[in-house]
Amino acid sequence: MIKRFDRDFVVEELPRYEPSGQGTHTYFYIEKQGLSTPAAIRTLSKALGKRDRDFGYAGLKDAHGVTRQMLSIEHVSQPKIAALDLRQIKIISTSRHTNKIKLGHLRGNQFNIRIRDVDSRVEENARQILDVLQRRGLPNYFGPQRFGVRGDNAAIGRAALLNHYDEAIAMMLGRTSHVDKGSAKQARELFDSCDLAASADAWDRGFRETARVCRVFSESGRDANKAWRAVNHSMRKLYFSALQSELFNQVVSRRINSIDQLLDGDVAWKHLNGACFIVENLVEEQPRCAEFEISPTGPLFGKKMKEPTGAAARMEDSVLDEANLNRNQISSPEGKKLDGARRPLRVPLEDVSLEQGQDDHGPHIKLSFTLPPGSYATTVTREICKNG
C-alpha cells in the first residue's frame, strides 16, 4: 500500500537552473503537505495579497503526499515570504532571479516512497522488476491523476470533441459515482433528478466553476451547447488533454512488449534534447535505441504533431479507429485547437535504491528514484505492486 500517510510519498523537484541571487523575482522553495500546487498558490496569494497568476511554478503536484518545489513571485521581498507562517506550507529558502519560473523549468523529480503491507517476497520481486525497468525503460504512461478523481476527464473531452454536449455536461454535473462525497454527491444527485437550480446551489466553494456552469445550463433552458461554452478555457483544455493522454496510453499498451524496439516510420525521441526525427533506417537506428540514446514516441494527437509513417502510422491509425475518431477531428475541431506533440513511449529510471525499513507504523519498503518531468511515479509503484 502506498500513500497511507502523507510522509510515505515525498517528491522533490530538481530545478533546471539555480537562481542567480539577483533580479526582481523572488524564488522560494516550499514544502507543502496535503495541498495541490494550485491550492498552495491560492493560499499564498491570500497571504501575500497577490493574484494566483502572479506566481510562477515549474510543475503541478497533487495534494497527496509531501512535495518540495520552487515558486516565484515578482516584487515581493524575501523577508516577507520567509516570515510566512502557514499550516500546510513551509518556506525552506528564498533567493532572487531575473525571470518568472515557467512550466517545464525543471530537470526532473526525485521520489522517496514507502510501500507498506507487503510480504517478504516483494523485495526480491521488486529488485528484479526495477532491473528490467532500468534496462528497458519505464513505460511512460500518464498516471490516473491525469484523468481526474472520477476518472472521466477523457470521456468528457471525447464527448465535447464529437459535439455531444449533452453527454459532456451530464458527466460534468451528474452521474453520481462511488467517489463522490458530501456536497458534490448531493449536487450531482440533484442534477440527475433535474433540480438544476438546487444543484447549482449545492456545490461548495471549491466547485465555484462547476456551480456556474450548472447555473448557465439551468438558466438557458438546458442548452448544453451554451453550458459547454461557459466552461472556462483551462478546464476545457484539461478535458481534451485527458483524451490525448488516454489515446497515448493505448499506444503504449499496444507496444509494451517491444517498448525498446523501433518500428519503421517511427518518430524517434532524442533523450539528450527532446528533438524528434523520422526513423528511415531501422538497422542504423536500433543500436542507438538499445543504448537509450533514442526511443520510439507515441502521439498526443493534434494539428502540429509530427506524423509517423509506415508501420508506426498504421498502428496509431488503428488506435484512433478503435476510438471512432480520426486525425482531422482531433487536429482541427470546430472551436477547439489541439496543437499536439510527441511523447517518448519510455523514459529512463535513474538513481534507484530499494531497502527494507521500519518505523512507528510498521515495516515497509523504501523506494527512491528519479524521473524526467511529466513522468509518473505511480507507473513505477504499479509495476512493483501488481500481481502476476
SS (H, E, C) 326-384: CHHHHHCCCCCCCCCEEEECEECCEEEEEEEEEECCEEEEEEEEEECCCCCHHHHHHHH
Question: Is the fold of 109-137+348-385 the same as that of 156-234?
Answer: no
Instruction: Please state which CATH number belongs to domain 109-137+348-385.
Output: 3.30.70
Question: For 182-298, where are the alpha helices, taking DSSP H only?
Answer: 182-192, 196-202, 208-219, 224-230, 233-254, 282-290
With 60 as the cut, is the pLDDT of residue 334 above it?
no
Dihedral angle computed from the Cα positions of residues 352, 355, 359 and 362, in that order, rounded to the nearest 10 degrees = 110
The more confident residue out of 289 and 34 is 289
Extract the C-alpha cell encoding 194.
433535474
- Please tell me whether residue 234 adopts helix, strand or coil conformation: helix
- Give the pLDDT of residue 383: 87
Any idea what DSSP says for residue 18? -
Position with higher pLDDT, 362 vs 38: 38
Q: Residue for cell digits 438544476? A: 196
pLDDT given at position 139: 97
Grid cell digits, residue 355? 531497502
CATH 1.10.1510 fits 156-234, yes or no: yes
How far is Cα of residue 58 from the mean position of the Cα atoms in its chain? 13
Distance CA 105, CA 95 (A): 16
DSSP 54: G
| H/E run at residue 270 | strand 267-270
Domain boundaries, the chain: 17-104, 109-137+348-385, 156-234, 255-347
| Distance (Å, whole) CA 382 – CA 385 | 5
Is residue 4 within 8 Å of 116, Cβ to Cβ?
Answer: yes
Residue with cell 519510455: 346
> How would DSSP label each residue in 71-139?
EEEES--HHHHHT---SSEEEEEEEEESS---TT-EEEEEEEEEEES--THHHHHHHHHHHHHHHH-EE
Say which CATH topology domain 255-347 has: Pseudouridine synthase (3.30.2350)
Copy the grid coordinates of residue 85.
507562517
- Identify the CA nearest to 32 among candidates 50, 57, 53: 57
Instruction: Specify the pLDDT at position 234.
Output: 83
Do 280 and 344 contact (CB within 8 A), yes or no?
Answer: no
pLDDT confidence bin for 63, thresholds 50/70/90: confident
Question: Distance between CA 376 and CA 142 in Å, rounded?
Answer: 7
Give the CATH H-level superfamily of domain 17-104.
TruD, catalytic domain (3.30.2350.20)
- What are the φ and ψ backbone dihedral angles of 240, each rounded to 5 degrees? -70, -35
What is the average pLDDT across 348-353? Answer: 95
Q: Is 41 exposed, middle or buried (0-12, 13-18, 19+ CB in 10 A)?
A: buried
Q: pLDDT higher for 28 or 359?
A: 28
- Predicted local confidence at residue 212, as pLDDT: 94
Say whether 50 sits in a helix, a strand or coil. coil
- Read off the pLDDT of each residue in 270-288 and give the average, rounded to a whole number: 95
pLDDT of residue 388: 47
Portion of the chain with pLDDT greater than 90, in percent: 73
Report, as an integer, the average pLDDT of 96-115: 93
Q: Which of 62-66, 184-188, 345-349 has the lowest mean pLDDT?
A: 62-66
Cβ–Cβ < 8 Å for 26, 73: yes
Considering the entire predicted model, what is its pTM? Answer: 0.89
When pLDDT is cut at 50, 70 and 90, the band that residue 205 belongs to is confident
Q: What is the pLDDT of residue 2?
A: 65
- Known catalytic residues are 62
